[in-house]
């Protein structure tokens, strides 16, 4: 392997940038943003260099011993293979574009330097997850990602809703991470190692090594993915995370961080047995369905895309559960392209609309914002899965995988969700870009500057072409058992190999599109609540998950907290600490009498002390 040390540089450049920004250049917006952009773009270029030098089909590790406590040996090492290389490209590539976009988007914000510092910290942690070669290191970066996500969601901390959303995201993630940590400890306890390659070879030699707890260990590890990738029942944080700036939503809560769960599942797929994968696939399918239904009745442009993200993540998790890491990673990659594109385009709309996010205040923006319109359209087509856009290929691969596994229920869910996706995406599309202007702001909207539209165009290119530029080849060569490389043309016609999946998928898209067109093409307000009644209200209120959690978990938590507070206040502080304090106070008052201020009394006491010492040393 050539340039073996290059990945270290890629990993630590963003950390360096974050450190330099926080320590030195916090006052200068431009310098800070340039440093941060430079770090991630340099990371992208170095990744490309590394890949051109080594090709894609290699597998290696570079590590140094980090901890050695008793039987625990932990390396700080980088896992270098096709999987991590592709993710590196996605994180630095999409991340780089979003960094550049942020330069335009955040230009008027006072704390832009802080923003870029957090963004760099995030990039560092995300790269750490991608490159980690053992569970402990991955967990550390996992938490770091959580912290930077917290910082960025709460970036506008003066808004109470942003602070709350940040807390919600962090705490919900912590719940999942708790399970993740337990799972890691369990794996270590059973197998005695944390390194992916050691674990993999151990389990390959003897699959029964995990024994009866294999399912439990798998599900506990999946808890981590459940929190980070916002799967049911920990999905509630992701929509609220849209309180952060739009580039953050695009980078962290659409393209990279939330995909980390899926990546982790693929990385450690060898740990999961059939039962746990079964559970995982159903949780993924259920999340996909639930989120798609919720998305239908949202009115905030960013929230619609957020629920769509949830739904697509459900797809990916479902696919991993269906023994299909290759389609899952494929969809992860294409999703990173078109979802980042959709978010950035939505951000461009929001700027054009002067920070209005309600889609019922927009309308007819296609004339005012042509570039945004065009790129958003490409993103929409890709998300819905219209050929030959990238989403079509990855979604088709997912449906084909469900069929191949003979999981017809999940296949049905997948098709239905595809229809829903087309419906709510085109609803968004028609309401925002077509029809008539629904407010004055929409009439005065304007196109965004070049620094914002350029990343849009770049992402649009990838969203279009992502399906047949060899992404599956790179994943498949590593993840699938036997895989033959496909040429570009073979990739382009690959969906035809399973016609049932393809036609079901396409039919769903057409139905969704036609429904949305008939309902929303020139609607001034949402006609759906009148037709669906209570169901629409439930969708709009996210099926009352927040209220349910509020009434049960949070209430119970409050009670426990109140009890703990009572114990702390009265028993710990009042009785125990009070007694100690009172005793100290009393003895202090008593001992104070010794201090007479008379030199000779002190001399007398001193002599007594010396006499005692002498007695102990000599006299006995």
Partner 1 sequence: MEAINNWISCGGVEDVLFYVFAALTLLCGILVIANPFSRNPVTSAMFLVLTIISMSGLFVLLHAFFLGIVQIIVYAGAVMVLFLFVIMLLDLKEELRRKIKMFGLVAGLISVGTVASIFLKSLASVKTDAAPPALEGDTYALGKLLFTQYTLPFEIVSVLLLVAMIGVILLSKKKLE
Partner 2 sequence: MHVGLQHYLAVSMILFCLGLLGVILRRNLLVMYMSLELMLNAANLALVSFSRFNNKLDGQVLVFFIITVAAAEVAVGLALIVALFRKRQSAHVEDLTSMKL
Alpha-carbon gap, residue 391 to 337, rounded angstroms: 9
Q: How far apart are CA 282 and CA 241, in angstroms?
A: 25
- Is the Cβ–Cβ distance between 321 and 279 less than 8 Å? yes
Give the span between the Cα atoms of 497 and 502, in whole angstroms: 9
Q: Which residues of 46-61 are buried (b: 16+ CB within 10 A; e: fewer)?
A: bbeebbeebebeeeeb
Between 563 and 612, name the residue whose CB sits nearer to partner 1. 612
| Residue 564 touching partner 2 (CB under 8 A) | no
- The item of partner 1, partner 2, none sharing an interface with residue 571, based on CB under 5 to 8 Å by kind, is none
Minimum CB separation of residue 583 from partner 2 in Å reads 19
Tell me how far, at minimum, the Cβ of 612 lies from partner 2, in Å.
15
Q: Contact region for partner 2 (CB under 8 A) — 40-48, 395-403, 568-576, 603-611? A: 603-611
CA 605 remoteness from chain centre: 69
Interaction of residue 595 with partner 2, rule CB under 8 A: yes
Pick from partner 2, partner 1, none: which does 592 bind, CB < 5 to 8 A by kind?
A: partner 2
Distance of closest approach, residue 595 Cβ to partner 1, in angstroms: 15
Q: What are the distances in angstroms from CA 369 to CA 67, 266, 347, 364, 492?
A: 55, 40, 12, 9, 32
Q: Determine if 59 is a binding residue for partner 2 (CB under 8 A).
A: no
Query: With CB cut-offs between 5 and 8 Å by kind, which of partner 2, partner 1, none does residue 514 bind?
Result: none
> Smallest gap, in angstroms, from Cβ of residue 584 to partner 2?
16
Among partner 1, partner 2, none, the one that 554 touches (CB under a kind-dependent 5 to 8 A) is: none
Q: Site residues (CB under 8 A) for partner 1? A: 600-601, 604, 607-608, 610-611, 614-615, 618-619
Spatial contact of 104 and 12, defined as CB atoms under 8 Å apart:
no
Minimal distance, residue 588 CB to partner 2, in Å: 10
Cis-peptide, bond into residue 314, ω within 30° of zero: no
Question: How far is it, in rounded angstroms, from Cα 507 to Cα 398?
Answer: 16
For residue 33, what are the CA distances in angstroms to 123, 274, 308, 347, 429? Answer: 14, 47, 30, 19, 32
Sequence-ordered alpha helix ranges (H) in 385-542 = 390-404, 408-433, 440-443, 450-465, 471-479, 488-492, 499-520, 528-532, 534-540
Q: What phi and psi values does residue 5 have, to the nearest 5 degrees?
A: -90, -5
For residue 459, the SS3 value is helix
Asked if residue 618 binds partner 2 (CB under 8 A), the reply is no
Task: Please tell me the distance from the alpha carbon of residue 481 to that of residue 478, in angstroms, as a whole number.
Answer: 8
| Contact by Cβ (8 Å): 292, 424 | yes
Q: Look at residue 595 and give the partner it binds from partner 1, partner 2, none, a contact being a CB closer than 5 to 8 Å depending on partner kind.
A: partner 2
Binds partner 2 by CB under 8 A, chosen from 596, 609, 612, 613: 596
Q: What's the min distance (Å) between Cβ of 597 and partner 1? A: 14
Contacts of 443 (CB under 8 A, 6+ apart): 437
- The token pair at 578 is 């009070």
* Partner that binds at residue 618, options partner 2, partner 1, none, CB closer than 5 to 8 Å by kind: partner 1
Stretch that binds partner 2, among 330-338, 511-519, 561-569, 601-609 (CB under 8 A): 601-609
CB of 611 to partner 2, least distance (A): 10
In whole angstroms, how close is the CB of 610 to partner 1 at the nearest point?
Answer: 8
Q: Which of residues 573-592 bind partner 2 (CB under 8 A)?
A: 592
Nearer of residues 572 and 608 to partner 1, judged by Cβ: 608
Q: Which does 534 bind (CB under 5 to 8 A by kind): partner 1, partner 2, none?
A: none
Segment interacting with partner 2, rule: CB under 8 A, options 201-209, 244-252, 355-363, 600-608: 600-608
Interacting partner of 615 out of partner 2, partner 1, none (Cβ under 5 to 8 A depending on kind): partner 1
| Helical spans, DSSP H, in 208-364 | 214-228, 237-240, 246-250, 260-267, 274-296, 301-321, 325-352
Question: Using CB under 8 A, which of 3, 157, 604, 615 touches partner 2?
Answer: 604
Q: How far apart are CA 77 and CA 218, in angstroms?
A: 23
Q: Does 603 bind partner 2 (CB under 8 A)?
A: yes
Check binding of 598 to partner 2 (CB under 8 A).
Answer: yes
Q: How far apart are CA 51 and CA 7, in angstroms?
A: 11
For residues 208 and 617, which CB has a smaller minimum distance to partner 1 in the complex? 617
| Residue where the block lists tokens 């507070």 | 565
> With CB cut-offs between 5 and 8 Å by kind, which of partner 2, partner 1, none does residue 597 bind?
partner 2
Closer residue to partner 1 (CB): 560 or 608: 608
Of 599, 616, 617, 618, the one binding partner 2 (CB under 8 A) is 599
d(CA 402, CA 408): 7
The mark string for 368-397 relative to partner 2 (x by CB under 8 A, - otherwise) is ------------------------------
Q: Which residues, in sequence order, are CB contacts of 429 under 8 Å at separation 6+? A: 376, 377, 380, 516
* 70 binding partner (options partner 2, partner 1, none; Cβ < 5 to 8 Å by kind): none
Q: Which is nearer to partner 1, 205 or 599 (CB)?
A: 599
Q: How far is the CB of 604 from partner 1 (least distance, A)?
A: 4
Q: Is residue 64 at the binding interface for partner 2, with CB under 8 A as the rule? A: no
Q: Residue 70 CB, nearest distance to partner 2 (Å)?
A: 51
CA–CA dist 63, 78 (Å, integer): 6
Distance of closest approach, residue 611 Cβ to partner 1, in angstroms: 4
Q: Of 370, 378, 366, 286, whose CA–CA distance to 339 is shortest?
A: 378
Reduce the DSSP state of residue 132 to 3 states and report it: strand
The reply to whether 597 sits near partner 2 by the rule CB under 8 A is: yes
Output the furthest CA–CA distance in the chain (Å, rounded): 108
The minimum distance between CB 603 and partner 1, in angstroms, equals: 8
- Indicate whether 607 belongs to the interface with partner 2 (CB under 8 A): yes
What residues pair up with 60 in beta bridges, in sequence order? Answer: 80
Q: In the complex, what is the shortest distance from the CB of residue 557 to partner 2, in angstroms, rounded to a whole number?
A: 49
Pick 524 or 610: Cβ nearer partner 2: 610
Cα atoms found within 13 Å of the Cα of residue 352, Cβ hemisphere only: 33
Residues that bind partner 2 (CB under 8 A): 592, 595-600, 603-604, 607
């Amino acid at each position: 392997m050539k340039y073996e040390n290059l990945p270290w540089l890629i990993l630590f450049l963003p950390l360096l940038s974050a450190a330099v920004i926080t320590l030195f250049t916090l006052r200068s917006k431009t310098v800070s943003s340039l440093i941060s952009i430079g770090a991630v773009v340099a990371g992208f270029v170095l990744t490309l260099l590394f890949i051109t030098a080594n090709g894609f089909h290699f597998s290696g590790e570079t590590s140094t011993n980090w901890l050695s406590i008793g039987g625990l040996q932990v390396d700080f090492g980088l896992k270098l293979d096709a999987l991590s290389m592709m993710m590196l490209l996605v994180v630095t590539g999409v991340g780089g574009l979003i960094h550049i976009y942020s330069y335009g988007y955040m230009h008027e914000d006072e704390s832009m330097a802080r923003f870029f510092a957090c963004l760099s910290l995030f990039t560092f942690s995300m790269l750490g997850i991608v490159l980690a070669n053992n569970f402990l290191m991955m967990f550390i970066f996992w938490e770091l990602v959580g912290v930077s996500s917290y910082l960025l969601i709460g970036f506008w901390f003066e808004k109470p809703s942003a602070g709350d959303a940040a807390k919600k995201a962090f705490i919900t993630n912590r719940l999942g991470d708790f399970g993740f940590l337990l799972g890691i400890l369990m794996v270590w306890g059973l197998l005695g190692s944390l390194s992916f390659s050691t674990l993999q070879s151990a389990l390959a030699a003897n699959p029964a090594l995990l024994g009866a707890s294999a399912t439990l260990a798998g599900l506990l590890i999946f808890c981590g993915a459940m929190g980070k990738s916002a799967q049911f029942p920990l999905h509630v944080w992701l929509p609220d995370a849209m309180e952060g700036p739009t580039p953050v939503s695009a980078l962290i809560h659409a393209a990279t961080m939330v995909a980390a769960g899926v990546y982790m599942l693929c990385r450690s797929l060898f740990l999961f047995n059939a039962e746990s994968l079964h559970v995982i696939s159903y949780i993924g399918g259920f999340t996909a369905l639930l989120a798609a239904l919720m998305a239908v009745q949202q009115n905030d442009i960013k929230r619609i895309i957020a629920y769509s993200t949830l739904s697509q993540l459900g797809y990916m998790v479902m696919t991993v559960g269906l023994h299909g890491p290759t389609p899952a990673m494929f969809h992860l990659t294409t999703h990173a392209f078109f979802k980042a594109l959709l978010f950035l385009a939505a951000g461009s709309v929001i700027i054009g609309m002067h920070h209005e996010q309600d889609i019922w205040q927009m309308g007819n923006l296609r004339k005012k914002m042509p570039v945004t319109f065009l790129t958003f359209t490409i993103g929409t087509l890709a998300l819905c899965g219209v050929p030959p856009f990238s989403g079509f290929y990855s979604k088709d691969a997912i449906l084909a995988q469900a069929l191949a596994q003979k999981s017809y229920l999940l296949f049905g869910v997948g098709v239905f969700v595809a229809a829903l996706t087309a419906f709510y995406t085109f609803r968004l599309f028609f309401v925002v870009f077509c029809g008539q202007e629904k407010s004055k702001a929409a009439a005065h909207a304007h196109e965004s500057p070049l620094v914002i539209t350029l990343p849009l165009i770049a992402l649009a290119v990838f969203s279009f072409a992502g399906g047949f530029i060899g992404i599956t080849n790179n994943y498949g060569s590593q993840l699938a058992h036997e895989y033959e490389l496909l040429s570009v043309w073979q990739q382009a016609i690959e969906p035809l190999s399973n016609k049932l999946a393809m036609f079901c998928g396409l039919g769903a898209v057409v139905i969704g599109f036609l429904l949305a067109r008939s309902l929303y093409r020139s609607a001034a307000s949402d006609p759906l609540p009148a037709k669906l009644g209570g169901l629409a209200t439930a969708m709009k209120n996210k099926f009352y998950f927040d209220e349910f959690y509020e009434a049960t978990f949070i209430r119970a938590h409050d009670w426990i907290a109140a009890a703990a507070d009572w114990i702390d206040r009265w028993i710990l502080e009042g009785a125990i600490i009070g007694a100690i304090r009172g005793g100290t106070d009393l003895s202090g008052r008593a001992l104070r009498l010794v201090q007479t201020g008379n030199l000779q009394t002190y001399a007398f006491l001193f002599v007594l002390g010396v006499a005692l010492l002498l007695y102990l040393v000599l006299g006995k």
